[in-house]
Structure 1
Amino acid sequence: MPQLILFAIDICAVVLLVFGLYFPRHRRRDLVVAYLGVNVGVLAVASALSASNVGAGLGLGLALFGVLSIIRLRSTELDQHEVAYYFSALALGILGALSTTSIWLSGGLMALIVVMMFLGDHPRLLRHYRHQIMVLDSAVTDQVALVAQLEQLLGARVHTATVARVDLVNETTIVDVRYSVKGRATNTGTSGAPAKAGAHR
């Protein structure tokens, strides 16, 4: 009976994580299936191994290796917050399968994971900070001039500007910019997609 209660707590926790936090905030349907599959798969495998003579540590190690392989060999790009949801779904499944711990401890740890993801991925947390890959229509080799130009274009304070490529023939600069915007309407989505910006010559 305690094992079934843990299963129920795990299902409630992953449903809350996926449908209460991730999907309303990021709207990526394909990862909903991935998170649910990872959670239930790890829960099933870890539960079966814990009931057999195979060491639970070996089973959990294989589960972690499998998820890391999926993330490593993925065909589509994942943002860091999506990787965090992967590991949260994995951790919930592992905790749901650990019958050796008390229900209160496992349930409390599951609740802690969901609460931390709620806070860490909240749209209002560090909402003024942005990240963008920009393509400038000029070749800029001076770092000070580059930062000044980016701050003028973005109307924001640039914290870091890492040049990925300078094309002196076509006069373009590709730069990874991390900046903060104060006192303006903010968009909580922080896409790393390139944005082309005109340069003042």
Structure 2
Amino acid sequence: MQHLPLVLADLVAISVLVLAVYHPRHRRKDLAVAFFGVNVGVMAVAVVLSGTTVGAGLGLGLFGVLSIIRLRSTELSQREVAYYFVALALGLVSGLGATSVAVTAALLAGLVAVLAVVDAPGFLGRDRERLVVLDAAYTDDVALADAVERLLGVRPHTLDVVRLDLVNDSTTVTVRFRDPRGGRAVVGDAALPVAVTA
């Protein structure tokens, strides 16, 4: 019964994170369900472990094992990884109940608030990332930057060559740049494939 306030605080926190922050911005039902499932599962196990002498160590071990299993099962964007780890952290913090209810509630609220702010559309809203496929093989970095600038109309901050195909004469590159127009990105995910020609 002493865990009930922390369980309720966790359910409120994960509901706000998923239903008020993540889902309205990214609209992925599968990950929304996964975040709820991971959070509630970790919280339940942490509540059980909190009554044992090895609670904290075993809880952190569980955190690591679940992370490895989940992250290897499908490819996640870095944004989704952040939500996934916060969902895990919410369950672990509330389930172990190592501090008072007020402190735990403040930690839960802080975790949700930080993610809500840094994933807001206006936060670093002009920075963009695109995966670009060029129909020429560029071995020279300056020529590659010039070609990308001509195609996108902006000077790239960084270029990471993903694939250089000399046989089929193509270059696949991740481009990071600042959009001079500013404003909100049209889509939420950072890396979007864009097939363009040189």
TM range (shorter): over 0.9
The residue correspondences of 1:17-166 to structure 2 (distance < 5 A) are 17-51=17-51, 53-74=52-73, 76-166=74-164
* Count of residue pairs brought into register by the alignment: 197
Pairwise CA distance, 1:175: 1.0
SS at match of 1:73: helix
* Residues 139, 171 of structure 1: 8 Å contact kept: yes
Pairwise CA distance, 1:55: 1.1
TM-score w.r.t. the length of structure 2 is 0.92
| Superimposed CA distance per residue, residues 69-103 of structure 1 (whole angstroms, 9 cap, x where no aligned partner) | 223321x3200111111111111111212334111
1:54–1:2: structure 2 CA closer, same or farther, 3 Å change rule?
Answer: closer
Unaligned runs of 5+ in 2: none
Instruction: Tell me the C-alpha RMSD between the 2 structures.
Output: 1.6
What's 1:196 paired with?
195
TM-score w.r.t. the length of structure 1 is 0.91
When structure 1 is superposed on structure 2, of 189-198 and 106-115 the one drifting more is 189-198
What's 2:11 paired with?
11
* Residues 55, 96 of structure 2: 8 Å contact kept: no
* Residues 123, 188 of structure 1: 8 Å contact kept: no
Pairwise CA distance, 1:194: 2.6
| Superimposed CA distance per residue, residues 39-95 of structure 1 (whole angstroms, 9 cap, x where no aligned partner) | 1111111111112x3411233123212322223321x32001111111111111112
Q: Distance in 1 between matches of 2:145 and 2:177?
A: 10
Give aligned-pair identity as a percent: 42
1:184–1:102: structure 2 CA closer, same or farther, 3 Å change rule?
Answer: closer
Q: Distance in 1 between matches of 2:98 and 2:130?
A: 46
Counterpart code for 1:82: E
Unaligned runs of 5+ in 1: none
